[in-house]
Amino acid sequence: MASERVLMKQGAEAKLYKCNFYGRPCVVKERFKKTYRHSALDASLTTQRMKAEVRAMLRSRMCGIPTPTVYFVDMVSSSIYMEELQDSQTVRNYISNIQNETTDINLAMAVLQPLGKRIGEILGVMHKNNIIHGDLTSSNMLLKGEPSSHDIVMIDFGLSHFENMAEDKSVDLYVLERALLSTHPNTERLFRVILDAYCAANPDGAKEVLHKLDEVRMRGRKRTMVG
């Protein structure tokens, strides 16, 4: 069925392998046992995350949000077999490269603006369909092919859930804001571009989400002040 695997990445929760699935380039995401967790709790968390990931990938695709095609799910080894996005890079890598190429913030912003628009549009559609990603970072977005085509594919939905509440959506955006600003310096403007596009894609729901986002930011700030 699947050819020999080659280890690609070792994360905190899962190992990623490359292989071939009936002739198709494939990535296997295998969640492994965490020995420091109680074994029954660990098994249940692993299953829960794997199910959440597959469900959200399929649901996102149905809403027109690109995610890798799921080929096969193996509950015994907690593995998801999915399409390998060849010729892709993480948005994290792309932003870092642009920022390394120029110290001119305006120039970097001009290049990154259409990317931000596309990210905002995707998140707006996701939230309109009540899909909360749960771990929005620039590493969990892949850019396929020529970066200037802004062909973004969303990945890593293990912490996702379905929820209509503005609060959950605002926390999703807050996680992205914190991740962006801590990974990439001077990306405040990029985040604003993302939010503008988010509002345009989700005009009915966005106002309440952004209002909540202000509250979530305040809470975050208080927490860092208290320490």
Ligand X SMILES: Nc1ncnc2c1ncn2[C@@H]1O[C@H](COP(=O)(O)OP(=O)(O)O)[C@@H](O)[C@H]1O
Catalog residues that contact ligand X under the rule CB under 6 A: 9, 11, 13-14, 16, 27, 29, 68, 82-85, 88, 90, 139-140, 155-156
Catalytic residue among 42, 135, 151, 196: 135
In the complex with ligand X, which residue's Cβ is closer, 90 or 130?
A: 90
In the complex with ligand X, which residue's Cβ is closer, 13 or 167?
A: 13
201: partner contacted, choices Mg ion, ligand X, none (Cβ within 5-8 A by kind):
none
Q: Least distance (Å) from ligand X to the CB of residue 47?
A: 16
Q: Least distance (Å) from ligand X to the CB of residue 83?
A: 6
Active site residue 135: yes
Answer for the pair 47, 124: CB distance below 8 angstroms, yes or no. Answer: no
In the complex with ligand X, which residue's Cβ is closer, 8 or 210?
A: 8
Q: Least distance (Å) from Mg ion to the CB of residue 70?
A: 16
Q: Least distance (Å) from Mg ion to the CB of residue 106?
A: 30
End-to-end Cα separation, the chain, in angstroms: 52
- Contacts with Mg ion by CB under 5 A lie at 140, 156
In the complex with ligand X, which residue's Cβ is closer, 19 or 108?
A: 19
User: Which residues are known catalytic residues?
Assistant: 135
